[in-house]
Amino acid sequence: MKHRSIPSQLPKGLWSLAALYCIASLIHFAHNAEYIALYPNVPAWLTREQVYLVWLAITGVGIAGGVLAAVGWRMAAAVLLAADGAFGLDGLGHYALALCSEHTLAMNLTIAFEAVAGLALAVAAGWFVARHAAARFWHIRA
């Protein structure tokens, strides 16, 4: 029997996308937290510390996915990774508060990086779930 390492329980590409999204998310949240007063129309009650706490909560979803993968719950792990990636689209909410042109270049780049990386992770993890769910339904090997 071939020994499987923990990361191989899900495709390596999925782990690469999860790592990329984690980095993109951290960059965006850190920029948002450190320059919160400059982000247009951000609610006054929102603090730097709250931004970091939200990042930790969102990242916790991805970490939980990693834990589930480690114990062999691949489908549940992939669902959590898809949800984690989907959270990256929440950064686009900045544009509900102010136009793209009202944000600095750095703001727009960090928002876009997080959104694109999150979408890539969500789609890849969602594809994994759909492919394996279909295989189970049709009794074929995925």
Three-state SS sequence of the chain:
CCCCCHHHHCCHHHHHHHHHHHHHHHHHHHHHHHCCCCCCCCCCCCCHHHHHHHHHHHHHHHHHHHHHHHCCCHHHHHHHHHHHHHHHHHHHHHHHHCCHHHCCHHHHHHHHHHHHHHHHHHHHHHHHHHHHHHHHHHCCCC
pLDDT tens by residue, 24-65? 999 999 999 999 999 999 999 999 999 999 999 999 999 999
Q: Where are the domains of the chain?
A: 11-36+47-134
The model's pTM is 0.87
Per the prediction, the chain carries an average pLDDT of 91
Structural contact between residues 9 and 72, judged by C-beta atoms closer than 8 angstroms:
yes
Q: Residues of the chain whose pLDDT is less than 70?
A: 1-8, 135, 140-142
Distance separating alpha carbons of residues 56 and 38, to the nearest angstrom: 22
